[in-house]
Amino acid sequence: MIRHVLRYPSARAACLILGVVAVLATAGPALAPHDPLAQDTAALLQGPSAVHWLGTDALGRDVFSRLLAGSTVSVLASLLSVAVGLLLGVVPGLLSVFLGKRFEWINLRLIDALMMLPFLVFAIAMTAMLGNGLVQAMFAVGILITPVFFRVSRAAALSVANAEYIEAARLMGASTASVIRRHVLRKVVPAVAVSAASMTGACLSIVASLTFLGIGVVPPDPTWGGLLATDLANLYDRPFGPIAPALLIVATVWALNALADAMRDTGTDNKEKPA
């Protein structure tokens, strides 16, 4: 699978970017040349220089260091949101196909209801009311993206649920659990993996939006979205300011989407290829 995916040039570029992001996320704070919280009142809103590669912000903090230090929180937050969404979405998604009409109806209505919630407003409301913090924000986003994983896993399970080989297994006396284990899981995992990759990107963007609004992260702690917010506030003084954090967010999200696309394409290629 991995070797097939890497045949795509875009997938190779995506992996390179994600590798860099992974390094930033794990070792970012250690790599930072300055203390991301240290204020230098002598150097406010500076442009890029040899000392401050990306300049300083309104409080004289080194932007480059804050960018590196913010990586861990930003990446971790989106990964954990996806984990919550996967946990809450995939299992009911699969079972809704196999556990009878009533279970299916209840699940579908719950998911419909989740999809009817105004996304960001609800995420904000939930985070704020549960006590404004990163864990709460991740939990809120995770719940809100649950429908995506529910639908993807349900669609994949549905596409095989009426397959004749599943009927054949049932006619040999196979139980639902054994049917899911032997026949269904294999078809669901690739589809879920694809949407997990693209949803990680989406969550990164959502978490950035939330932190941009000051939700989920307490102000002095740096995040990519928060940096962008302060940079936009100081647009007149440092018009180039938002470029670096915006670029970092866009590149990461693009890489995840490109990887998801490549995974999807290999999936369909393999299916279409006559054996």
Partner 1 sequence: MTGNVISLDSHVPHGRRSEITLVEPLLSVRGLRITAADGRTLVRDVDLDLPAGGTLGIVGESGSGKSLTCRAILDLLPPGLALASGTIRYRNVDLSGLDARSWRALRGIELSAVFQDPASYLNPSIPVGRQLTEAIRAVLKLSRKAALARALELLGRVGFRDAEAVYPQYPHELSGGMAQRVLIALAICAGPSLLIADEATTALDATIQAEVLDLIATLRREEDLTLIMVSHDLAVVSQVCDRIVVMRGGEIVEAGPTHSVLHHPKSDYTRSLIDDHAVHTIDTTEGRQPPAAAPASPPLLSVSGLAAGYGIRTVVQGIDIEVAPGEILGLIGETGSGKTTLLRTILGLIPAARGAITLDGQQIDGLSDRRLRDFRRSGALQYVFQDPLRSLDPDLTIGESITEGLRLQASLGLSAMKASVAAALVSVGLDPQLADRLPGQLSGGQRQRTVIARALALDPRLLLLDEPVSALDAVNRSHVLKLLRRLADERGIAQIFISHDLGSVAGIADRVVVLHHGEIVETGPARMVLAHPAHPYTRRLLAAAPRIPREAPAAARPLFTAY
Partner 2 sequence: MTAAIDSSRASVPDLRLGHAKALLRQVGSTLGIAVPVFFVATLITFLLGVVSGLDPAAAIAGDAASPKTIARIRADLGLDLPMPLQYLHWMGEVLRGDLGTSWFNGVPASELIFQRLPISLSIAGMALLAGIVGGTALGLVAGVRQGSRLDRATTLFAAVVSSLPPFVVAFLLILIFSLWLGWLPSSGYVPFSEDPAGWLAAISIPAVALSVDVVADIARQLRTGLVGELSENYVTGAVVRGLSRRRILFVHVLRNAAGPALTVLALKVPMLIGGAVVTEAIFNMPGMGKLAADSALRGDVPVVQGTLVVSILLILACNLCVNVLLGILQPASRRRN
Q: Is 163 in the site for partner 1 (CB under 8 A)?
A: yes
Q: Is 203 in the site for partner 2 (CB under 8 A)?
A: no
Q: Is 178 in the site for partner 1 (CB under 8 A)?
A: yes
Selection from partner 2, partner 1, none that 258 binds (CB < 5 to 8 A by kind) is partner 2
Of 131 and 173, CB closest to partner 1: 173
Interaction mask 225-264, partner 2, x per CB under 8 A = x--x---x--x---x--x---x--xx--xx-xxx--x---
Map residue 136 onto helix, strand or coil.
helix
Cα of 54 vs its chain's centroid, Å: 26
**Residues 207/137, Cβ–Cβ less than 8 Å:** yes
Q: Which of 65, 205, 230, 266 binds partner 2 (CB under 8 A)?
A: 205
**Residues 102/256, Cβ–Cβ less than 8 Å:** no
Kindly state the number of chain residues that form the binding site for partner 1, as judged by CB under 8 A.
19
CA distance 218 to 220: 6
* Start-end of H helices in the chain: 2-5, 9-31, 63-98, 101-115, 119-129, 134-161, 164-171, 176-179, 185-212, 224-233, 243-272
Q: Choose one: 24-32, 96-104, 185-193, 211-219; the region binding partner 2 (CB under 8 A).
A: 211-219
Q: Is 169 in the site for partner 1 (CB under 8 A)?
A: yes
Selection from partner 1, partner 2, none that 170 binds (CB < 5 to 8 A by kind) is partner 1
Residues forming beta bridges with residue 56, ordered by sequence position: 62
Q: Which of 17, 157, 161, 208 binds partner 2 (CB under 8 A)?
A: 208
Q: Choose one: 44-52, 73-81, 107-115, 161-169; the region binding partner 2 (CB under 8 A).
A: 107-115
Gyration radius of the chain over CA positions: 22
Q: Is 36 in the site for partner 2 (CB under 8 A)?
A: no
Q: 125 to 144, contacts with partner 2 by CB under 8 A?
A: 125-130, 132
For the bound state, the minimum distance from the C-beta of residue 93 to partner 1, rounded and expressed in Å, comes to 20
**Residues 148/82, Cβ–Cβ less than 8 Å:** no
For the bound state, the minimum distance from the C-beta of residue 191 to partner 2, rounded and expressed in Å, comes to 16
For 100, list phi and psi in degrees, rounded to 5: 95, 165
- DSSP of 66-132: HHHHHHHHHHHHHHHHHHHHHHHHHHHHHHHHHS-HHHHHHHHHHHHHHHTS-HHHHHHHHHHHTTS
Residue 209 CB partners (closer than 8 Å, separation 6+): 120, 225
Selection from partner 1, partner 2, none that 112 binds (CB < 5 to 8 A by kind) is partner 2
Residues that bind partner 1 (CB under 8 A): 163-165, 167-175, 178, 182-183, 186-187, 274-275
Residues that bind partner 2 (CB under 8 A): 109-110, 112-130, 132, 201, 205-206, 208-209, 212-215, 225, 228, 232, 235, 239, 242, 246, 249-250, 253-254, 256-258, 261
